[in-house]
Chain A
């Protein structure tokens, strides 16, 4: 892999966001708005609830983590969509660029935007709603790591789907986080779910993060074993997603899909 080619992919994304305010809105402005909205909801719940539970670290913290995961995934997919929207595949894939370099560039860009977004979310929630990420202690690091890894894996998988099914398939991709959220227990314990949904939850790394978060706030500790399993699953999914993307790319080169990509294939 050559660093300058990875840097080219990152630089392209930087140029795009630099030259367009609308591209700043999704990774930064919407997350801030989301934090404000959920901040007031948790504040309200704290005033009406007699349970004594502080909703700021449980609910607002969960929303913050979930938004972080969504931004990581969309950091990868949006970077890929930029090449779909600008019909850039012929130009890019006729250069010496390798698929691992391309994916690596998208992932680096996702790291940059998602962490800037995370900083913004933490700033807004701590400044206006008293949220403290110290509430999770050192577990914050593995929580973020698991969500980050799964977001990357899902982003690469989603990009491969769009490469295979054509530009209009992006509409399948945007709702994926909403589709997953009931299964991973962002707002409630997994025990709330019926058994068949719980079985799916155990295959989704974020489930272990949100269970762990609630466990820390309510019981003072979280299961390292569960988080380790979540991280292992996330790494496995990244490997599978990279393999899947490469397989789809080879199929696209064999069938001529890359060369005529702008034509709808689905």
Chain B
């Protein structure tokens, strides 16, 4: 299967502190990969490097085979992201924000695309509302709509359902799952909700102290390591990684 994202020996350190320690992995087409790990494990650092917001000390990042270090703009035109820590500017309306980001991503038939996304993410009634006055759940949906604008080959989602109510979170998981299955793109997804990860991810990577400790199918991985479920495995990775049979 063709990779939409390929990381090779990626490393980032801040002085003596190693944030990401030579990780390598791939995200393939029509695949949702969960990037899991405790706080400070290096998940967001990895995502920031893939988004071109942070330069790695060494290693390569290929998006659809394009090296982000050499052709940053071209590589980023095939990605998009949504994260709880990066809301859309609150002083513009939902429609204005979507138009601006649509222009930045050179989206064709932008007006129609915006209308479709407003409908898809149930944002039509907030079309002319400033993003800053929306509830956190509505803002998250606006962020997800922005993330889908350019039909990205690589979609990066950093805790995308963190502020959604359970019903809306499920609806959005379904939409994102459809995006991965029906389109030609892949998704890299971080979350602390292990039930969600088990539901949507095809494969998970457990990151701890900047290294990938485990990789596998979220449904079978816990059993392979003598754990009942993904949450138990997560807690072990976070607290007692040496007890795992690696």
Contacts and interface: CB of A to CB of B under 8 A. Distances in A.
Interface size class of B (residues with CB under 8 A): 35 or more
B226 interface: no
Interface size class of A (residues with CB under 8 A): 20 to 34
Nearest to A256: B54
Given A12-B92, A86-B90, A93 B52 contact: yes
Contacts of B100: 8, 11-12, 15
A94 B99 contact: no
B241 interface: no
B76 A91 contact: no
A254 B12 CA distance: 10
A4 B110 CA distance: 12
Contacts of A50: none
Contacts of B85: 90
A258 interface: yes
Majority SS at the chain A contact face: helix
Majority SS at the chain B contact face: mixed
B106 A5 contact: yes
B89 A7 contact: no
Contact of A15 (B44, B96, B105, B106): B96
Given A2-B106, A91-B86, A96 B48 contact: no
Contacts of B48: 256, 259
Contact of B92 (A15, A93, A96): A15
Top 4 nearest A-B pairs (CB, nearest first) are A8-B103, A86-B89, A94-B51, A96-B73
Interface of B: 14, 44-45, 48, 51-55, 72-74, 76-77, 79, 81, 83, 85-93, 96, 99-101, 103-106, 130, 146
Interface of A: 2, 4-5, 7-8, 11-12, 15-16, 19-20, 82-83, 85-88, 90-98, 250, 253-256, 258-259
